[in-house]
Chain A
Amino acid sequence: MDNQKLSTNPTSLKTRFALRFIRSLTRIKMANTPVSSMGTLRKRSQTIKLAADCSMASAVGSKRSWSRSALLKIRSRARLHAFAKEKVVTKKKKKCNRRDVGEVVIQQEVMGANELRQIVPGGESMEFLNLLKETAHYIKCLNTQVEVMQNIVDLYSPST
């Protein structure tokens, strides 16, 4: 069983992400007219970034709190984008931290988890321990995402 750096597992996270992302890239390439200005270039790079985040969240699926949260956000933003004229603001106020769990809140604030909550998707409404677990998984996924994107950039780049 040689595990060098290539994974032969067809259902690994890396593969699931890569396939989705490449499909998105193909769609993006075919949908767009030639990029002519800095503005369209930047817009396209935002589209690509969104596609990457979406591909990763979708590859993870509903197993994780952060991925569920990310998918929800992406989909509701897509809906907003579709109804650009109407201002549809859906305020989904989930159960925020109830302040009656005093012990937990004190620990969180002492440990400075507030910043982390804003960075990890869905972090605002997670319990502290769960936040730590989700963060670990989120970091692993981000690493995979960067790795695959880097591979793709290397492959697309003209070889010198």
Chain B
Amino acid sequence: MTSIICDNDNQNKERLSLHVLCLNSESSTVTIVRYCLDRMQQPQVRQLLGNARYDQCPIENPQQLRPSESGDRNPFSFTPQLIHLHKDHEMFEDGDIHRHMYLQDLYTSDKDDKPALSVAEFACHISGCSAVFSSLEEYEHHYNSLHRHVCSSCRRSLPSARLLDIHIQEWHDSLFTILAQNQDMYQCLVEGCGQKFRTSKDRKAHLIGIHKYPPDFRFDKSRKDKGGRETKKQLHKDAAMEVVPDVCKSEGVCEVLCEVLTDQPEKEESMEMHVSEEDVAHMGQCASAGEPADVSAAAHGCTGMEPQKPRYSYRVPTTVCFGHGSVRGFRGRRGRRK
């Protein structure tokens, strides 16, 4: 009898690859199945779990395994509970205060002093990401931008499944490299175009010439830049999505910028930044470009602009501002999220 437990192995940096531990209770061995979640469209995952390939591997983190004899133990533990509250319980505080205000002749039905009702926050639960949001839309936006189409090999976040596929194919598939020597393998990035090219340069020319793409389109980096970037990425493999809090100090300019840029925050935050023409202009105005972990690309993409400070953390760039005096970034880990 096997059970499948998902184990988020912190040592392995391929964050969105699915580790499946199969416990074989008879032989007490564990096999680990590992594959890239991102390479697959979601429905195919289901099939994969059924046709898993097995590699024999030792257990890496035994503490993360749930002890299980039968292997199929139901983890759900809800039972209805009667809750008795002692008179000193904190849930009774507001009512007690109200009562004593009345006793001390300070009762008033004044509506202005009412405590505000708060709305629950949302939080990204992906291990290592501690972003918090005040609305569901923000959460969805965050998740779709940063976690949905992520390459497991190099952790780059791409904006769509198609671009992710192309990225993986061109960057991480050795078969592609071989085939590309003899055939036109580089697809045009525009959906529906269908044309293929022998080199990425040809494709880029096509994109610029025919489809009027900007010459520094962020999602069409050639592979030879990869080396430099990847080195830098190695340094921050352990970097969580946690952002160093930073207060926006600009005076009034930010509001204008923010309105312009609100429709592009995803790209600012993702590992691949889309530096459009307008971004370049604005970056020049505001502080240095907060291009995460990719200084060379910034120089590459925005000629004539000098970043004041190279930054390697996953900062929210200075061009995104939540208001004067606000913390520029997502809030850090909350106490309860251990």
- Chains A and B bind each other: no
Using a CB–CB cutoff of 8 Å, the interface residues on chain B facing chain A are none
